[in-house]
Structure 1
Amino acid sequence: MTIRVTVWGENVHEQKNKTVAGIYPDGMHNTIAGALNRDAGIAAGSVTLQDPEHGLTAEKLAETDVLIWWGHCAHGEVQDAVVERVAEAVWSGMGMIFLHSAHFSKPFKRLMGTPCNLTWREAGERERLWLTSRNHPIAAGLPDHFELEHEEMYGEPFGVPEPLETVFVSWFAGGEVFRSGLTYKRGAGNVFYFRPGHETYPTYHDANVQRVILNAVKWAHNPAMRLAEPTVAPNVPVEQALEPIEERGPKLHAAGEEGYR
Protein backbone atom coordinates (compact mmCIF):
# COMPACT_ATOMS: atom_id res chain seq x y z
CA MET A 1 0.00 0.00 0.00
CA THR A 2 1.42 3.37 -1.03
CA ILE A 3 1.35 6.01 1.70
CA ARG A 4 0.10 9.33 0.33
CA VAL A 5 1.94 12.24 1.95
CA THR A 6 1.28 15.97 1.65
CA VAL A 7 4.03 18.33 2.82
CA TRP A 8 2.65 21.73 3.82
CA GLY A 9 5.13 24.58 3.58
CA GLU A 10 4.72 28.17 4.68
CA ASN A 11 7.00 29.11 1.75
CA VAL A 12 7.72 32.64 2.98
CA HIS A 13 11.39 32.54 3.99
CA GLU A 14 12.33 30.88 0.70
CA GLN A 15 10.92 33.88 -1.17
CA LYS A 16 12.28 36.64 1.07
CA ASN A 17 15.60 35.37 2.43
CA LYS A 18 18.49 34.75 0.01
CA THR A 19 20.22 32.42 2.45
CA VAL A 20 17.17 30.21 2.73
CA ALA A 21 16.60 30.31 -1.04
CA GLY A 22 20.20 29.22 -1.57
CA ILE A 23 19.88 26.24 0.77
CA TYR A 24 16.41 25.25 -0.46
CA PRO A 25 16.02 26.56 -4.03
CA ASP A 26 12.90 24.42 -4.49
CA GLY A 27 11.56 25.22 -1.02
CA MET A 28 11.83 23.23 2.18
CA HIS A 29 8.52 21.53 1.40
CA ASN A 30 9.79 20.15 -1.91
CA THR A 31 13.11 19.11 -0.37
CA ILE A 32 11.25 17.06 2.24
CA ALA A 33 8.84 15.61 -0.33
CA GLY A 34 11.69 14.73 -2.66
CA ALA A 35 13.52 12.81 0.06
CA LEU A 36 10.37 10.87 0.92
CA ASN A 37 9.74 9.99 -2.73
CA ARG A 38 12.98 8.02 -2.79
CA ASP A 39 11.06 5.37 -0.85
CA ALA A 40 9.04 3.15 -3.19
CA GLY A 41 6.19 2.91 -0.70
CA ILE A 42 5.55 6.65 -0.48
CA ALA A 43 4.00 9.17 -2.89
CA ALA A 44 4.69 12.67 -1.56
CA GLY A 45 3.57 16.03 -2.91
CA SER A 46 3.51 19.54 -1.50
CA VAL A 47 1.19 22.51 -1.01
CA THR A 48 1.86 25.95 0.43
CA LEU A 49 0.31 28.77 2.39
CA GLN A 50 -0.14 30.75 -0.81
CA ASP A 51 -2.33 28.13 -2.52
CA PRO A 52 -6.14 28.55 -2.45
CA GLU A 53 -7.35 27.32 0.96
CA HIS A 54 -3.62 26.87 1.68
CA GLY A 55 -3.76 23.81 -0.55
CA LEU A 56 -5.73 21.91 2.07
CA THR A 57 -9.17 21.49 0.59
CA ALA A 58 -11.48 18.80 1.91
CA GLU A 59 -10.68 16.76 -1.19
CA LYS A 60 -6.92 17.10 -0.65
CA LEU A 61 -7.11 16.02 2.96
CA ALA A 62 -9.34 13.06 2.04
CA GLU A 63 -6.58 11.76 -0.21
CA THR A 64 -3.76 12.45 2.28
CA ASP A 65 -2.66 9.65 4.59
CA VAL A 66 -0.04 11.73 6.40
CA LEU A 67 0.25 15.54 6.49
CA ILE A 68 3.61 17.19 7.32
CA TRP A 69 3.56 20.83 8.51
CA TRP A 70 6.34 23.43 8.55
CA GLY A 71 5.49 27.01 9.52
CA HIS A 72 7.25 29.89 11.24
CA CYS A 73 6.56 33.55 10.54
CA ALA A 74 3.02 33.39 9.14
CA HIS A 75 1.11 31.25 11.64
CA GLY A 76 -1.54 33.95 11.95
CA GLU A 77 -2.27 33.91 8.22
CA VAL A 78 -3.58 30.35 8.29
CA GLN A 79 -7.37 30.43 8.02
CA ASP A 80 -9.21 29.10 11.05
CA ALA A 81 -11.58 27.11 8.83
CA VAL A 82 -8.59 25.25 7.38
CA VAL A 83 -7.24 24.61 10.89
CA GLU A 84 -10.53 22.97 11.89
CA ARG A 85 -10.55 20.94 8.69
CA VAL A 86 -7.05 19.64 9.45
CA ALA A 87 -7.95 18.84 13.07
CA GLU A 88 -11.01 16.88 12.00
CA ALA A 89 -8.94 14.96 9.47
CA VAL A 90 -6.53 13.98 12.25
CA TRP A 91 -9.37 12.99 14.57
CA SER A 92 -10.76 10.81 11.78
CA GLY A 93 -7.45 9.01 11.28
CA MET A 94 -5.04 11.09 9.17
CA GLY A 95 -1.46 11.03 10.44
CA MET A 96 0.21 14.36 11.23
CA ILE A 97 3.86 15.41 11.60
CA PHE A 98 4.85 18.86 12.88
CA LEU A 99 8.38 20.11 12.21
CA HIS A 100 10.44 22.65 14.13
CA SER A 101 8.58 25.97 14.57
CA ALA A 102 5.29 24.30 13.70
CA HIS A 103 5.09 23.86 17.49
CA PHE A 104 3.49 27.32 17.45
CA SER A 105 1.22 26.68 14.47
CA LYS A 106 -2.55 26.89 14.80
CA PRO A 107 -3.12 23.18 13.99
CA PHE A 108 -0.59 22.00 16.60
CA LYS A 109 -2.05 24.25 19.29
CA ARG A 110 -5.55 23.11 18.34
CA LEU A 111 -4.61 19.45 18.68
CA MET A 112 -2.55 19.88 21.85
CA GLY A 113 -4.88 22.29 23.66
CA THR A 114 -1.93 24.00 25.38
CA PRO A 115 0.24 27.10 24.74
CA CYS A 116 3.05 25.01 23.14
CA ASN A 117 5.57 27.66 24.20
CA LEU A 118 9.29 27.22 24.80
CA THR A 119 12.58 29.12 25.08
CA TRP A 120 14.81 29.67 22.07
CA ARG A 121 18.06 31.18 20.85
CA GLU A 122 19.32 31.50 17.28
CA ALA A 123 23.09 31.19 17.49
CA GLY A 124 24.00 28.38 15.09
CA GLU A 125 24.89 25.98 17.90
CA ARG A 126 25.63 22.29 17.65
CA GLU A 127 22.68 20.06 18.43
CA ARG A 128 23.09 16.47 19.55
CA LEU A 129 19.96 14.31 19.36
CA TRP A 130 19.88 11.27 21.63
CA LEU A 131 17.57 8.32 21.18
CA THR A 132 15.51 7.75 24.30
CA SER A 133 13.41 4.92 22.87
CA ARG A 134 15.70 2.67 20.81
CA ASN A 135 13.02 0.20 19.76
CA HIS A 136 10.50 2.79 18.61
CA PRO A 137 9.66 2.55 14.87
CA ILE A 138 10.60 6.21 14.38
CA ALA A 139 14.12 5.39 15.60
CA ALA A 140 14.66 2.50 13.15
CA GLY A 141 18.03 2.54 11.41
CA LEU A 142 19.41 5.43 13.48
CA PRO A 143 22.50 5.50 15.70
CA ASP A 144 22.21 6.09 19.45
CA HIS A 145 22.79 9.79 18.72
CA PHE A 146 23.52 12.09 15.81
CA GLU A 147 24.59 15.71 15.51
CA LEU A 148 23.61 18.77 13.52
CA GLU A 149 26.52 21.19 13.36
CA HIS A 150 24.35 24.31 13.30
CA GLU A 151 20.80 24.66 14.59
CA GLU A 152 18.52 27.02 16.47
CA MET A 153 18.26 26.21 20.17
CA TYR A 154 14.92 25.25 21.70
CA GLY A 155 14.82 24.86 25.46
CA GLU A 156 12.54 23.60 28.19
CA PRO A 157 10.00 24.06 29.57
CA PHE A 158 8.00 22.99 26.53
CA GLY A 159 4.33 23.78 27.07
CA VAL A 160 2.81 20.64 25.59
CA PRO A 161 0.81 17.76 27.10
CA GLU A 162 2.67 14.72 28.37
CA PRO A 163 3.42 12.66 25.24
CA LEU A 164 2.75 9.00 24.69
CA GLU A 165 6.47 8.54 24.19
CA THR A 166 9.59 10.70 23.94
CA VAL A 167 11.71 9.34 21.10
CA PHE A 168 14.49 11.97 21.06
CA VAL A 169 16.04 14.41 23.51
CA SER A 170 18.34 17.19 22.26
CA TRP A 171 21.37 18.73 23.91
CA PHE A 172 22.75 22.04 22.67
CA ALA A 173 26.24 23.49 22.92
CA GLY A 174 24.84 26.24 25.14
CA GLY A 175 23.87 23.62 27.72
CA GLU A 176 20.10 23.38 27.24
CA VAL A 177 18.16 20.16 26.68
CA PHE A 178 14.83 19.72 24.92
CA ARG A 179 12.32 16.92 24.25
CA SER A 180 12.79 16.81 20.47
CA GLY A 181 10.65 13.90 19.30
CA LEU A 182 7.22 13.44 20.84
CA THR A 183 4.34 11.14 19.88
CA TYR A 184 0.65 11.69 20.52
CA LYS A 185 -2.71 10.14 19.72
CA ARG A 186 -5.52 12.52 18.85
CA GLY A 187 -8.79 10.78 18.07
CA ALA A 188 -7.88 8.11 15.53
CA GLY A 189 -4.85 10.04 14.30
CA ASN A 190 -1.17 9.58 15.16
CA VAL A 191 0.77 12.81 15.73
CA PHE A 192 4.56 13.32 15.87
CA TYR A 193 6.48 16.49 16.70
CA PHE A 194 10.13 16.70 15.59
CA ARG A 195 12.22 19.69 16.65
CA PRO A 196 15.09 20.31 14.12
CA GLY A 197 14.61 22.40 10.99
CA HIS A 198 15.53 26.07 11.27
CA GLU A 199 15.27 27.60 7.82
CA THR A 200 18.79 29.09 7.56
CA TYR A 201 20.52 25.74 8.09
CA PRO A 202 20.58 22.71 5.73
CA THR A 203 18.85 20.45 8.26
CA TYR A 204 16.43 18.82 5.81
CA HIS A 205 19.34 17.72 3.63
CA ASP A 206 20.75 15.69 6.53
CA ALA A 207 20.42 11.93 6.03
CA ASN A 208 19.52 11.20 9.65
CA VAL A 209 16.84 13.89 9.71
CA GLN A 210 15.42 12.51 6.47
CA ARG A 211 15.39 9.04 8.02
CA VAL A 212 13.47 10.30 11.07
CA ILE A 213 10.82 11.93 8.87
CA LEU A 214 10.54 8.82 6.69
CA ASN A 215 10.15 6.59 9.74
CA ALA A 216 7.64 9.02 11.23
CA VAL A 217 5.51 8.90 8.09
CA LYS A 218 5.33 5.12 8.26
CA TRP A 219 4.55 5.23 11.98
CA ALA A 220 1.87 7.93 11.62
CA HIS A 221 0.08 6.19 8.75
CA ASN A 222 -3.20 4.60 9.79
CA PRO A 223 -4.35 2.12 7.10
CA ALA A 224 -7.84 1.79 8.60
CA MET A 225 -10.81 3.52 7.01
CA ARG A 226 -11.30 7.09 8.19
CA LEU A 227 -13.99 7.78 10.77
CA ALA A 228 -16.86 9.48 8.95
CA GLU A 229 -17.97 11.87 11.71
CA PRO A 230 -15.24 12.12 14.36
CA THR A 231 -16.86 15.06 16.20
CA VAL A 232 -20.43 13.72 16.41
CA ALA A 233 -21.75 12.52 19.77
CA PRO A 234 -24.97 10.61 18.85
CA ASN A 235 -27.77 9.79 21.26
CA VAL A 236 -28.32 6.04 21.32
CA PRO A 237 -31.58 5.33 23.21
CA VAL A 238 -32.13 2.06 24.99
CA GLU A 239 -34.84 0.16 23.12
CA GLN A 240 -35.50 -2.20 25.97
CA ALA A 241 -34.15 -2.83 29.43
CA LEU A 242 -31.30 -5.30 29.64
CA GLU A 243 -32.32 -8.61 31.10
CA PRO A 244 -30.54 -9.99 34.17
CA ILE A 245 -27.31 -11.70 33.20
CA GLU A 246 -28.44 -15.06 34.66
CA GLU A 247 -31.33 -15.18 32.16
CA ARG A 248 -29.15 -14.64 29.09
CA GLY A 249 -27.36 -17.96 29.09
CA PRO A 250 -30.42 -20.23 28.67
CA LYS A 251 -31.87 -17.97 25.95
CA LEU A 252 -28.61 -17.89 24.03
CA HIS A 253 -28.39 -21.67 24.26
CA ALA A 254 -31.96 -22.11 23.03
CA ALA A 255 -32.15 -19.39 20.39
CA GLY A 256 -28.56 -19.11 19.25
CA GLU A 257 -26.70 -15.82 18.72
CA GLU A 258 -29.06 -14.59 15.98
CA GLY A 259 -32.17 -15.04 18.13
CA TYR A 260 -30.90 -12.93 21.02
CA ARG A 261 -30.35 -9.21 21.27
Structure 2
Amino acid sequence: MIRVTVWNENIHEKTNPKVSEVYPNGIHVAIKEGIAGDSFEIRTATLDQPEHGLTEDVLQHTDVLIWWGHKAHDRVADEIVNRVYSRVLQGMGLIVLHSGHFSKIFKKLMGTTCDLKWREAGEKERIWAVNPAHPIAEGVGQYIEIENEEMYGEHFDIPAPDELVFISWFAGGEVFRSGCTYYRGQGKIFYFRPGHETYPTYHHKDVLRVIANAVKWAAPRHGAKPVYGNSQPLEDIKGK
Protein backbone atom coordinates (compact mmCIF):
# COMPACT_ATOMS: atom_id res chain seq x y z
CA MET A 1 0.00 0.00 0.00
CA ILE A 2 1.48 3.36 -1.05
CA ARG A 3 0.69 6.18 1.38
CA VAL A 4 -0.09 9.37 -0.56
CA THR A 5 -0.65 12.93 0.67
CA VAL A 6 -2.20 15.39 -1.80
CA TRP A 7 -1.31 18.97 -0.83
CA ASN A 8 -3.18 21.95 -2.26
CA GLU A 9 -3.13 25.57 -1.13
CA ASN A 10 -6.93 25.57 -1.67
CA ILE A 11 -7.32 29.32 -2.20
CA HIS A 12 -8.69 29.68 -5.75
CA GLU A 13 -11.55 27.33 -4.92
CA LYS A 14 -12.67 29.70 -2.14
CA THR A 15 -12.26 32.99 -4.02
CA ASN A 16 -12.96 32.29 -7.70
CA PRO A 17 -16.48 31.05 -8.62
CA LYS A 18 -15.19 29.60 -11.89
CA VAL A 19 -12.70 27.43 -10.04
CA SER A 20 -15.21 26.34 -7.41
CA GLU A 21 -17.56 25.32 -10.22
CA VAL A 22 -14.91 23.07 -11.75
CA TYR A 23 -13.56 21.81 -8.41
CA PRO A 24 -16.35 22.25 -5.83
CA ASN A 25 -14.48 20.21 -3.22
CA GLY A 26 -11.02 21.48 -4.16
CA ILE A 27 -8.30 20.38 -6.55
CA HIS A 28 -6.88 18.13 -3.82
CA VAL A 29 -10.13 16.17 -3.55
CA ALA A 30 -10.44 15.87 -7.35
CA ILE A 31 -6.95 14.39 -7.51
CA LYS A 32 -7.57 12.12 -4.53
CA GLU A 33 -10.77 10.75 -6.05
CA GLY A 34 -9.25 10.58 -9.53
CA ILE A 35 -6.30 8.38 -8.58
CA ALA A 36 -8.02 6.34 -5.87
CA GLY A 37 -7.37 2.62 -6.12
CA ASP A 38 -6.56 -0.48 -4.15
CA SER A 39 -2.83 0.28 -4.05
CA PHE A 40 -3.10 3.81 -2.58
CA GLU A 41 -3.95 5.07 0.87
CA ILE A 42 -4.65 8.78 0.29
CA ARG A 43 -5.01 11.76 2.60
CA THR A 44 -5.18 15.48 1.78
CA ALA A 45 -3.60 18.57 3.33
CA THR A 46 -4.10 22.29 2.71
CA LEU A 47 -2.34 25.56 3.42
CA ASP A 48 -4.75 26.77 6.12
CA GLN A 49 -4.34 23.72 8.35
CA PRO A 50 -1.92 23.81 11.30
CA GLU A 51 1.60 23.37 9.90
CA HIS A 52 -0.09 23.41 6.46
CA GLY A 53 -1.28 19.89 7.19
CA LEU A 54 2.31 18.64 6.85
CA THR A 55 3.25 17.76 10.39
CA GLU A 56 6.24 15.58 11.17
CA ASP A 57 3.87 12.68 11.75
CA VAL A 58 2.04 13.17 8.44
CA LEU A 59 5.27 13.32 6.46
CA GLN A 60 6.75 10.32 8.25
CA HIS A 61 3.68 8.39 7.12
CA THR A 62 3.78 9.69 3.53
CA ASP A 63 5.48 7.71 0.77
CA VAL A 64 4.61 10.19 -1.99
CA LEU A 65 3.60 13.85 -1.65
CA ILE A 66 1.65 15.53 -4.48
CA TRP A 67 1.95 19.35 -4.54
CA TRP A 68 -0.31 21.98 -6.17
CA GLY A 69 0.21 25.68 -5.42
CA HIS A 70 -0.12 29.03 -7.17
CA LYS A 71 -1.26 32.16 -5.33
CA ALA A 72 0.38 31.58 -1.98
CA HIS A 73 3.88 30.20 -2.53
CA ASP A 74 5.23 32.90 -0.20
CA ARG A 75 2.82 31.88 2.57
CA VAL A 76 4.31 28.41 2.89
CA ALA A 77 6.51 28.51 5.99
CA ASP A 78 10.21 27.87 5.45
CA GLU A 79 10.15 25.42 8.35
CA ILE A 80 7.65 23.25 6.46
CA VAL A 81 9.63 23.55 3.21
CA ASN A 82 12.76 22.35 4.99
CA ARG A 83 10.78 19.52 6.56
CA VAL A 84 9.55 18.35 3.14
CA TYR A 85 13.03 18.79 1.66
CA SER A 86 14.55 16.54 4.33
CA ARG A 87 11.92 13.86 3.73
CA VAL A 88 12.61 13.89 -0.02
CA LEU A 89 16.32 13.40 0.61
CA GLN A 90 15.39 10.51 2.93
CA GLY A 91 13.35 8.83 0.18
CA MET A 92 9.85 10.33 0.05
CA GLY A 93 8.63 10.80 -3.52
CA LEU A 94 7.44 14.27 -4.64
CA ILE A 95 5.12 15.06 -7.56
CA VAL A 96 4.94 18.77 -8.40
CA LEU A 97 2.01 19.85 -10.55
CA HIS A 98 1.52 22.82 -12.89
CA SER A 99 2.16 26.17 -11.12
CA GLY A 100 3.94 24.30 -8.35
CA HIS A 101 7.03 24.97 -10.48
CA PHE A 102 7.31 28.25 -8.51
CA SER A 103 6.84 26.62 -5.11
CA LYS A 104 9.57 27.08 -2.53
CA ILE A 105 10.13 23.33 -2.31
CA PHE A 106 10.57 22.82 -6.06
CA LYS A 107 12.95 25.78 -6.40
CA LYS A 108 14.96 24.56 -3.41
CA LEU A 109 15.30 21.10 -4.93
CA MET A 110 16.14 22.44 -8.40
CA GLY A 111 18.48 25.26 -7.35
CA THR A 112 17.24 27.52 -10.18
CA THR A 113 14.52 30.16 -10.69
CA CYS A 114 12.15 27.63 -12.36
CA ASP A 115 10.78 30.54 -14.42
CA LEU A 116 9.04 30.15 -17.80
CA LYS A 117 6.77 31.80 -20.38
CA TRP A 118 3.00 31.57 -19.90
CA ARG A 119 -0.26 32.60 -21.53
CA GLU A 120 -3.83 31.92 -20.47
CA ALA A 121 -5.80 31.62 -23.71
CA GLY A 122 -7.64 28.31 -23.38
CA GLU A 123 -5.65 26.73 -26.19
CA LYS A 124 -5.13 23.11 -27.14
CA GLU A 125 -2.26 21.27 -25.50
CA ARG A 126 -0.86 18.06 -26.93
CA ILE A 127 1.43 16.26 -24.48
CA TRP A 128 3.73 13.90 -26.37
CA ALA A 129 5.26 10.86 -24.67
CA VAL A 130 8.88 11.18 -25.77
CA ASN A 131 9.93 8.32 -23.49
CA PRO A 132 7.03 5.87 -24.03
CA ALA A 133 8.88 3.03 -22.29
CA HIS A 134 9.02 4.97 -19.02
CA PRO A 135 6.61 3.61 -16.36
CA ILE A 136 5.10 7.09 -15.87
CA ALA A 137 3.91 7.01 -19.51
CA GLU A 138 2.33 3.58 -19.25
CA GLY A 139 -1.13 3.32 -20.80
CA VAL A 140 -1.44 6.86 -22.20
CA GLY A 141 -0.62 6.21 -25.85
CA GLN A 142 1.51 8.47 -28.06
CA TYR A 143 0.07 11.69 -26.64
CA ILE A 144 -2.52 13.25 -24.36
CA GLU A 145 -4.71 15.94 -25.85
CA ILE A 146 -6.28 18.63 -23.67
CA GLU A 147 -8.74 20.92 -25.44
CA ASN A 148 -8.27 23.98 -23.22
CA GLU A 149 -5.23 24.74 -21.09
CA GLU A 150 -2.89 27.51 -20.00
CA MET A 151 0.29 27.67 -22.07
CA TYR A 152 3.71 27.22 -20.52
CA GLY A 153 6.63 27.80 -22.89
CA GLU A 154 10.39 27.48 -23.04
CA HIS A 155 12.79 28.49 -21.80
CA PHE A 156 11.93 26.62 -18.60
CA ASP A 157 14.71 27.49 -16.14
CA ILE A 158 15.28 24.08 -14.59
CA PRO A 159 18.29 21.76 -14.51
CA ALA A 160 18.41 19.26 -17.35
CA PRO A 161 15.97 16.50 -16.29
CA ASP A 162 17.40 13.14 -15.33
CA GLU A 163 14.65 11.73 -17.58
CA LEU A 164 12.38 13.61 -19.95
CA VAL A 165 9.08 11.75 -20.25
CA PHE A 166 6.73 14.29 -21.90
CA ILE A 167 6.98 17.35 -24.14
CA SER A 168 3.97 19.62 -24.72
CA TRP A 169 2.99 21.45 -27.88
CA PHE A 170 0.46 24.31 -27.77
CA ALA A 171 -1.84 25.68 -30.46
CA GLY A 172 -0.01 29.01 -30.26
CA GLY A 173 3.20 27.29 -31.37
CA GLU A 174 5.20 26.90 -28.15
CA VAL A 175 6.72 23.70 -26.80
CA PHE A 176 7.55 22.83 -23.19
CA ARG A 177 9.32 20.11 -21.21
CA SER A 178 6.17 19.03 -19.39
CA GLY A 179 7.13 15.73 -17.75
CA CYS A 180 10.52 15.71 -16.00
CA THR A 181 12.05 13.37 -13.44
CA TYR A 182 14.82 14.08 -10.94
CA TYR A 183 16.65 12.17 -8.25
CA ARG A 184 17.62 14.05 -5.09
CA GLY A 185 19.24 12.08 -2.27
CA GLN A 186 17.16 8.92 -1.92
CA GLY A 187 14.01 10.61 -3.25
CA LYS A 188 12.44 10.78 -6.70
CA ILE A 189 10.72 13.87 -8.10
CA PHE A 190 8.34 14.24 -11.03
CA TYR A 191 7.22 17.58 -12.44
CA PHE A 192 4.04 17.41 -14.55
CA ARG A 193 2.85 20.55 -16.32
CA PRO A 194 -0.96 20.47 -16.95
CA GLY A 195 -3.47 21.64 -14.35
CA HIS A 196 -4.57 25.28 -14.58
CA GLU A 197 -7.26 25.84 -11.97
CA THR A 198 -10.04 27.17 -14.25
CA TYR A 199 -9.97 24.13 -16.56
CA PRO A 200 -11.17 20.59 -15.72
CA THR A 201 -7.73 19.10 -16.33
CA TYR A 202 -7.80 17.00 -13.15
CA HIS A 203 -10.93 15.27 -14.41
CA HIS A 204 -9.06 14.11 -17.56
CA LYS A 205 -8.54 10.35 -17.36
CA ASP A 206 -5.10 10.34 -18.95
CA VAL A 207 -3.80 13.20 -16.80
CA LEU A 208 -4.96 11.27 -13.74
CA ARG A 209 -3.39 8.09 -15.13
CA VAL A 210 -0.02 9.86 -15.42
CA ILE A 211 -0.27 11.12 -11.83
CA ALA A 212 -1.15 7.63 -10.59
CA ASN A 213 1.73 6.15 -12.59
CA ALA A 214 4.05 8.78 -11.12
CA VAL A 215 2.98 7.89 -7.59
CA LYS A 216 3.93 4.26 -8.21
CA TRP A 217 7.25 5.28 -9.77
CA ALA A 218 8.16 7.76 -7.01
CA ALA A 219 7.27 5.52 -4.07
CA PRO A 220 10.29 4.46 -1.97
CA ARG A 221 11.74 1.08 -2.82
CA HIS A 222 13.36 0.58 0.60
CA GLY A 223 16.79 -0.49 -0.62
CA ALA A 224 19.93 -0.50 1.49
CA LYS A 225 20.11 2.53 3.77
CA PRO A 226 23.10 4.76 2.95
CA VAL A 227 25.84 5.00 5.57
CA TYR A 228 27.84 8.24 5.83
CA GLY A 229 30.82 9.47 7.82
CA ASN A 230 33.98 7.74 8.99
CA SER A 231 33.99 4.06 8.05
CA GLN A 232 36.09 1.10 9.14
CA PRO A 233 37.62 -1.04 6.36
CA LEU A 234 35.91 -4.29 5.41
CA GLU A 235 39.26 -5.92 4.60
CA ASP A 236 42.68 -5.85 6.24
CA ILE A 237 44.70 -2.94 4.86
CA LYS A 238 48.28 -4.00 4.15
CA GLY A 239 50.88 -2.29 6.26
CA LYS A 240 48.33 -1.05 8.80
TM-score between the two structures when normalised by the length of structure 1: 0.88
The answer for unaligned runs of 5 or more in structure 1 is 248-260
1:4 aligns with 2:3: yes
> Which of 220, 231, 237 does residue 243 from structure 1 map onto?
237
The answer for unaligned runs of 5 or more in structure 2 is none
* 1:1-261 matched pairs, under 5 angstroms: 2-37=1-36, 39-224=37-222, 234=229, 236=230, 243-244=237-238
Write the deviation string for residues 134-190 of structure 1: whole angstroms up to 9, x where unpaired: 100000011101210000000000000111111000000000000000000000000
C-alpha distance in structure 2 between counterparts of 1:84 and 1:63, whole Å: 17
Amino acid of the structure 1 residue aligned with 2:81 = V
Deviation at 1:243, TM superposition (A): 2.7
Structure with max Cα Rg: 1
| Percentage identity across paired residues of the two chains | 56
C-alpha distance in structure 2 between counterparts of 1:223 and 1:113, whole Å: 26
Contact map agreement 1:36 1:43 (CA 8 A) in 2: no
The number of aligned residues is 239
CA 1:217–1:237 in structure 2 vs 1: closer, same or farther (change >3 Å)? closer
C-alpha distance in structure 2 between counterparts of 1:106 and 1:23, whole Å: 26
Equivalent position SS for 2:24? coil
C-alpha distance in structure 2 between counterparts of 1:243 and 1:50, whole Å: 58
Deviation at 1:242, TM superposition (A): 6.0
C-alpha distance in structure 1 between counterparts of 2:33 and 2:153, whole Å: 30
Amino acid of the structure 2 residue aligned with 1:18 = P
Contact map agreement 1:189 1:222 (CA 8 A) in 2: yes
Equivalent position SS for 1:125? strand
Deviation at 1:34, TM superposition (A): 1.0
CA RMSD of aligned residues (A): 2.0
Runs of 4+ in 1 over 2 A off after TM superposition: 241-244
Contact map agreement 1:7 1:33 (CA 8 A) in 2: yes
TM-score between the two structures when normalised by the length of structure 2: 0.95
